[in-house]
């Protein structure tokens, strides 16, 4: 049913080429606006690919991606400002914090049902926002933790190159993972869990692995993102990120690697150009989500795939 | 003095608890009969509260008329909600049902912010500052009314589920939809009634609590996240379990909030949910629509 993925060396070469092109962008434009947009695209590409791994491949609807992102951001910010850690140590620590959170909600809820996972992940994301706002002694509440800076990466172009490089490495990692045994096992679990189990695949272990990987990547991007903004406040847990990620994954086509990355780019650029206010934007996203669920549940990429499947069937 | 403080906390917790219960019971009823987790449930609570604000300030309806009218309107909204969105979903479409109701919730909440802004509004009533003094304790009349209204709603739902034919059909359907179909229970009309009741209870909760606290478009998401925890702790689909858990959580939060930092009170429901999931994943009271 799925098209065969590109052979690994070819797509690795493709990704490396894209990376080199992206690194050259700061020479073409000095506009900070476009560099910020580039950082947003890179961040959302990793976040929504992380959601795609959990939802599109493993079939688990996770609303906790924004929590992993925000925990990475707060974790790194607190380690650097309170404990005086170097950012380069705080970055893997952010990944570890996010992974632990992912394992906690995954292990506790997956033994019950997929419904429970969706509910627990949403509650966790909302709780993180509330705790960040109310635990003033640790997080300074809604004032946030300002003054985050990364020595040696003060210029916008430096931060842009760093974010793009990390994002490309993470996306490459996702790609390798998805074309490996893990990706196939996840798809087998999604298609038919009892059958996969009978082949010796332990669904819980693979699902937890997918959640950890996705959480770790989101945590890393969160740490980078707050150091790009130079401040972290409770808005990093905003539901806006969850909704945007969902739109990217669903319209890009859950389970389609490049579809979701393309959708990340489109949905990072277009709403900004249209200059909608955030509540109007989210209302429209909601309408799009409702329409997508009623009309084409597989997303655009899913629709194209279905159409090619239909053509293939008629040819037989 | 310390005793009065404790009793006051208990009363506040009980009031919040019964409101949680109204919302969580509807959520649980809809899940038990349709297999759908309604992520938009909190928005109907918000709409109920908003509607009661406009009914009181623009239409000058009285306290009791407003509550009755809002509950009826919410029930009608339930009919549309079922026919437009939920009736096309099957229990196997688990992601579709969640994303669809989540999309509806986004539209309602952000549309609400767009139309009405996040400024909190106060619903004026003739009882707003009235209080009964009992043994040195001030009992605000509105909170007592809330308790009374919620108790009446619990009783009505209990009688419906345990003493009527349609209640029997609901319980039967939640146990086994195949067996229910075999004895001639029309799945669609029973499911529609469950959605109507669930949404009406949410609207009732919003209209009742609106004069006690302030009203604004984001109030739904804060509440529904508590309701989710309650439904999981009480056992998915277990209505009585949801009601008991809701009241316990309301009191627990109020007591924690009275003596410890606010963060802990907000996290109590979530922590309890995780603990229950780790040690008793079926919930404290087991599954199925029970009374």
Instruction: Please give the full DSSP string across A129-180, using - where no structure is assigned.
Output: HHHHHH-HHHH-GGG-B-----TT--SHHHHHHHHHHHHHHHHHHHHHHHTS
CB nearest to A119's CB, from B37, B106, B108: B37
Candidates B2, B5, B26; CA nearest to B246 is B26
Tell me the chain A residues in contact with residue B269 when contact means C-beta distances shorter than 8 Å: 123
Q: What is the pLDDT of residue A29?
A: 72
Complex prediction ipTM = 0.78
CATH fold for the domain made of B2-116+132-279: ABC transporter involved in vitamin B12 uptake, BtuC (1.10.3470)
* pTM exceeds 0.90 for this model: no
| Boundaries of every domain in chain A | 8-315
Candidates A214, A145, A149, A131; CA nearest to A177 is A214
Structure-derived torsion over alpha carbons of residues B163, B168, B171, B176, reported in degrees to the nearest 10: 160
In this structure, what DSSP letter does residue A5 have? P
Q: What is the pLDDT of residue A1?
A: 41
- Of B221, B270, B272, B284, which to mutate for an interface test with A (greatest number of A Cβ within 10 Å)? B270
Candidates B109, B129, B142; CA nearest to B210 is B142
Mean pLDDT per 10-residue interval, chain B, length 291 residues: 79 89 90 86 92 89 88 91 82 77 89 86 80 76 88 90 84 77 80 92 91 86 84 83 90 88 79 80 63 43
List, for chain A, all residue ranges whose pLDDT scores fall below the cut of 70: 1-8, 30, 275, 296-305, 316
Q: The domain A8-315 is classified under which CATH number: 1.20.1260, 1.10.287, 1.10.3470, 3.40.50?
A: 1.10.3470
User: Are B223 and B202 spatial neighbours (Cβ–Cβ below 8 Å)?
Assistant: no
* Contact across the interface for B222 and A111, Cβ inside 8 Å: no
* Contact across the interface for B37 and A115, Cβ inside 8 Å: yes
Tell me the chain B residues in contact with residue A141 when contact means C-beta distances shorter than 8 Å: none
Three-class secondary structure of residue B195 per DSSP? helix
Q: Report in angstroms the alpha-carbon separations of A113 from A45, A119, B104, B241, B256.
A: 28, 10, 23, 18, 30
Does any CB of chain B come closer than 8 Å to the CB of residue A113?
Answer: yes
* Contact across the interface for A104 and B274, Cβ inside 8 Å: yes
| Boundaries of every domain in chain B | 2-116+132-279
User: Are A255 and A56 spatial neighbours (Cβ–Cβ below 8 Å)?
Assistant: yes
* Core vs surface per residue B168-179: b (16+ CB within 10 A) or e: ebbbbbbeebee
Does any CB of chain B come closer than 8 Å to the CB of residue A277?
Answer: yes
Does any CB of chain B come closer than 8 Å to the CB of residue A288?
Answer: yes
Tell me the chain B residues in contact with residue A66 when contact means C-beta distances shorter than 8 Å: none
Tell me the chain A residues in contact with residue B232 when contact means C-beta distances shorter than 8 Å: 112, 116, 119-120
Tell me the chain B residues in contact with residue A120 when contact means C-beta distances shorter than 8 Å: 232, 273-274, 277
Q: What is the pLDDT of residue B259?
A: 85
Does any CB of chain B come closer than 8 Å to the CB of residue A43?
Answer: no
């Amino acid at each position: 049913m799925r098209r065969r993925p590109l052979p690994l060396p070819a797509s690795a070469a493709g990704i490396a080429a894209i990376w080199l092109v992206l690194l050259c962008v700061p020479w073409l434009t000095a506009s900070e606006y476009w560099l910020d947009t580039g950082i947003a695209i890179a961040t959302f590409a990793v976040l929504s690919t992380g959601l795609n791994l959990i939802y599109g491949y493993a079939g688990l609807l996770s609303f906790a991606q924004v929590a992993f992102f925000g925990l990475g951001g707060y974790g790194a910010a607190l380690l650097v400002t309170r404990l005086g850690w170097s950012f380069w140590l705080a970055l893997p620590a952010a990944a570890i914090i996010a992974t632990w959170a992912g394992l906690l909600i995954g292990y506790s809820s997956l033994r019950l049902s997929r419904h429970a996972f969706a509910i627990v992940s949403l509650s966790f994301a909302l709780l993180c926002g509330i705790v960040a706002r109310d635990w003033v002694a640790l997080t300074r509440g809604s004032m946030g933790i300002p003054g985050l800076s990364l020595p040696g990466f003060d210029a916008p172009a430096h931060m842009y190159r760093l974010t793009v490089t990390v994002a490309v490495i993470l996306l490459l990692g996702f790609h390798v993972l998805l074309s490996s045994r893990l990706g196939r096992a996840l798809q087998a679990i999604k298609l038919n869990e009892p059958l996969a189990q009978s082949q010796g695949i332990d669904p819980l272990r693979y699902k937890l692995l997918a959640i950890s990987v996705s959480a770790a990547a989101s945590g890393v991007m969160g740490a980078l993102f707050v150091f790009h903004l130079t401040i972290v406040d409770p808005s990093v847990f905003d539901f806006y990120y969850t909704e945007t990620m969902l739109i990217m994954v669903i319209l890009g086509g859950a389970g389609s690697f490049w579809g979701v990355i393309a959708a990340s780019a489109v949905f990072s650029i277009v709403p900004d150009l249209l200059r909608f206010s955030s509540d109007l934007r989210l209302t429209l996203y909601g309408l799009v989500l409702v329409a997508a669920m009623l009309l084409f549940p597989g997303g655009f990429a899913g629709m194209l795939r279905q159409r090619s499947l239909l053509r293939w069937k008629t040819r037989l | 003095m310390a005793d009065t403080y404790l009793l006051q906390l208990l009363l506040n917790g009980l009031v919040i608890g019964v409101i949680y219960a109204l919302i969580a019971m509807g959520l649980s009823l809809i899940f038990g009969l349709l297999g759908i987790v309604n992520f938009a449930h909190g928005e109907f609570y918000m709409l109920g509260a908003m509607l009661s604000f406009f009914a009181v300030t623009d239409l000058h309806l009285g306290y009791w008329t407003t509550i009755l009218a809002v509950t009826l309107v919410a029930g009608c909204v339930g009919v549309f909600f079922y026919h437009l969105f939920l009736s096309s979903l099957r229990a196997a479409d688990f992601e579709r049902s969640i994303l669809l109701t989540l999309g509806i919730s986004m539209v309602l909440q952000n549309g609400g912010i767009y139309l009405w802004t996040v400024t909190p509004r106060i619903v004026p009533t003739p009882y707003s500052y009235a209080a009964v003094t009992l043994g040195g304790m001030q009992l605000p009349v509105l909170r007592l009314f809330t308790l009374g209204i919620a108790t009446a709603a619990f009783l009505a739902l209990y009688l419906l589920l345990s003493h009527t034919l349609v209640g029997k059909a609901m319980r039967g359907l939640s146990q086994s939809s195949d067996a229910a179909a075999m004895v001639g229970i029309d799945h669609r009309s029973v499911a529609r009634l469950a959605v109507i009741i669930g949404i009406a209870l949410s609207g009732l909760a919003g209209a009742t609590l609106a004069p006690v606290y302030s009203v604004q478009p984001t109030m739904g998401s804060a509440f529904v996240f508590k309701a989710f925890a309650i439904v999981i702790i009480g056992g998915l689909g277990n209505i009585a379990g949801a009601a008991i858990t809701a009241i316990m959580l309301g009191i627990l939060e109020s007591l924690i909030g009275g003596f410890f930092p606010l963060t802990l009170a907000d996290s109590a429901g979530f922590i309890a949910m995780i603990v229950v999931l780790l040690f008793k994943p079926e919930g404290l009271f087991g599954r199925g629509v029970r009374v």
